Amino acid sequence: TNQVSVDGLRKDKMVKENSKNERQFDSQAFQMEAPSDLEMAELLSQYMQPQDKRKQNTMVAGEEGQIQKNGDEQDVTIQAPEEEEENALTQDPNGEENGVDKGIFHQMKFIILGFNEEETEQLTVLIEDKGGCVLACGKTRQVADIAIVPLMGFPVDVTVSEILTNAWLQMCVEGDQVLPYDGWLSRPIELPETEPLSSCCLCVSGYVGVERECIMHLAQLLGARCQDHFARKSKKDLKANTHLVVNYPSGSKYEAAKKWTIPAVGREWISACLKTGKHVPEDDYFIEVLEKKRLQ
């Protein structure tokens, strides 16, 4: 009430001063309109707050939220309480809150078969860290979406939608995306009884992570020798390479293979040898040929 009366007094005083000033000027040269009562009251109310209150820099916590200083003393932001923030989050059409990473395996149920206790625990961590759920074998009636088995396969005697390998799982985690179920390492692989690549020495270049490890492992199971160095001639612990397995037609090893006329093939050649159980001719699997097909 006191503040309103002071506003009124100041308003009346200013109106009178304005009227007096108007008479001092020629009406045709200059005329100043007195502000309305409402405009003057709003103007004065802005300056009725104490100076220290306008520069207040205290942190107030409670149900009303928090006020925090941001740089300048008069620059403050109001932070809503956590509950209000959570309720204010927008939702996407699938019902998931924006900005919240549910993980690539969110709402997917897995069962792990064919691994020892330590391996099972490691795979479980990979799945759960990405939002998936691992069902206990034989202790639930829930049907798993995916059974994870070793790359060489394992008998699955439970009902599942898909049977995929640990290589697929690990590659999904590496790339942080769910890879297609029909990838060359996604399904269990049946090894041939023979070793069609027993006379071969391979160097793998360009492939990384789990895929690189699988290429080398499978080549060895087919009888091949694998080494990191690419050698034209045998010396010390190195054998002369018969093949370069490379993902793109580029790089120093690829250029050396062309110079030395050593076949540079893609991993598709290894896959073909696995399926046929034979040393498949390299012609259709030269990396240049495969690259042209990719670009078509």
d(CA 32, CA 22): 7
Q: Output Rg (C-alpha) for the chain, integer angstroms.
A: 38
Partners of 246 in the β-ladder:
205
What is residue 178's three-state secondary structure?
coil
CATH dotted code for 109-175:
3.40.50.10190
Structural contact between residues 27 and 33, judged by C-beta atoms closer than 8 angstroms: no
Tell me the CB-side half-sphere exposure of residue 14, using CA atoms within 13 A: 17
Work out the mean pLDDT of the chain and round it to a whole number: 79
CATH architecture of 201-295: 3-Layer(aba) Sandwich (3.40)
The model carries a pTM of: 0.66
d(CA 185, CA 271): 9
d(CA 137, CA 227): 39
Over the stretch 122-161, which tens digit does the pLDDT of each residue have?
999 999 999 999 999 877 788 999 999 999 999 999 999 9
- For the packed helices 2-23 and 37-45, what is the interaxial angle rounded to 10 degrees? 120
User: Binning pLDDT at 50, 70 and 90, where does residue 50 land?
Assistant: very low
Structural contact between residues 76 and 70, judged by C-beta atoms closer than 8 angstroms: yes
The 3-state secondary structure of 1-68 reads CHHHHHHHHHHHHHHHHHHHHHHCCCCCCCCCCCCCHHHHHHHHHCCCCCHHHHCCCCCCCCCCCEEE
* Beta-strand runs (E) in 132-183: 133-134, 144-149, 160-165
Structural contact between residues 249 and 291, judged by C-beta atoms closer than 8 angstroms: yes
Over the stretch 233-276, which tens digit does the pLDDT of each residue have?
999 889 999 999 999 999 999 999 999 999 999 999 999 999 99
Residue ranges of domains in the chain: 109-175, 201-295
Question: 109-175 and 201-295 share one CATH topology?
Answer: yes
Q: What average pLDDT does range 50-79 have in this prediction?
A: 41
Over the stretch 163-220, which tens digit does the pLDDT of each residue have?
999 999 999 999 999 999 999 999 999 999 999 999 999 999 999 999 999 999 999 9
DSSP letters for 114-138: S--HHHHHHHHHHHHHTT-EEPPTT
